Structure 1
Amino acid sequence: MRVTSDFFVSSLIRRVFGEGGFAAVMRKGAAEAGAVFIVIRGREGDSTLLGPAPQSGYDEKRPGGRQFVVLEEKLEEDGLSARITREARFDPDVWFVELDTPRLPEDLVDIMKP
């Protein structure tokens, strides 16, 4: 069984804060099943955007887990704002969570490699 989006986001934020990082909800979506996008802030002011992995990429051994893919790297603020607006227009239930942490994203969430 997959946990709700609200629970997943809360858990992720607690882990990041617990390890001395910073996390914030940039856009709150549907508590039960909104898609979650993760923004990893870089030290140079750019960002990496992670989004939900395609359903075909999910592992049958872990049917309840959330997997992500890297959608864009070195994304600047204007590009990020445009992407948030575009995704919210397509799906008003979408979440965007910003992380600023010394840990690698792969240590926090399951990232699918192409």
Structure 2
Amino acid sequence: MRLKSAIWVSAFLRRCMVEGIYGAVVRKGAEEAGAVHVIVDHLDGTCHLFSPAPGASYDEEGERRWMIEARPPQGTGDAMALLERRIRFDPDIWIVEVEDRKGTAGLAEQP
């Protein structure tokens, strides 16, 4: 069973909070099925931008699949510029930003 986007975002931010990672919703999208994009700010001027993987959005276990659209040395401004262009085509997207100096907040690119 797939979670609604709003529930997944809430659970992701809660997990981050438990791990001591600050996060917030930058842009709220469609509650049921809005695409979720996650910016992981490394607090050094660089970030990763995770977006839904093309093709199947979920793996065999029902977990979301991700692709990295921006990686260091790109900054959050670059990631937001890319997402602003996306919003023109899909106004239902979610943008979540977390601060994780050490990694990618538990997200990983999947083949």
TM-score by length of 2: 0.86
Offset at 1:110? 4.8
31-40 or 73-82, which deviates more: 73-82
Give the match for residue 33 of structure 2.
33
Query: How many angstroms apart in 2 are the aligned matches of 1:76 and 1:56?
Result: 28
**Partner amino acid, structure 2, of 1:104:** G
95-104 or 81-90, which deviates more: 95-104
Query: How many angstroms apart in 2 are the aligned matches of 1:48 and 1:110?
Result: 10
Among all aligned residue pairs of Structure 1 and Structure 2, give the percentage whose two residues are the same amino acid: 35
Offset at 1:46? 1.6
Residues 44-102 of structure 1 deviation map (CA, whole Å, 9 limit, x = unaligned): 1121101001125753x32x321111111122243223112111111100011111135
Give the match for residue 4 of structure 2.
4
Give the match for residue 78 of structure 1.
77
**Partner amino acid, structure 1, of 2:96:** V
Q: Kindly report which structure 2 residues correspond to 1:1-114, keeping only aligned pairs within 5 A, or say none.
A: 1-56=1-56, 58-59=58-59, 61-62=60-61, 64-74=62-72, 75-101=74-100, 104-105=103-104, 108-113=106-111
**Partner amino acid, structure 2, of 1:71:** E
Query: Which 5+ residue runs of structure 2 have no aligned equivalent?
Result: none
Q: Which has the higher helix share?
A: 1
Query: Which 5+ residue runs of structure 1 have no aligned equivalent?
Result: none
The count of corresponding residues between Structure 1 and Structure 2 is 110
Aligned Cα RMSD in Å? 1.9
Q: Which has the higher strand share?
A: 1
102 and 76 in structure 1: CA distance in 2 versus 1, 3 angstrom threshold: closer
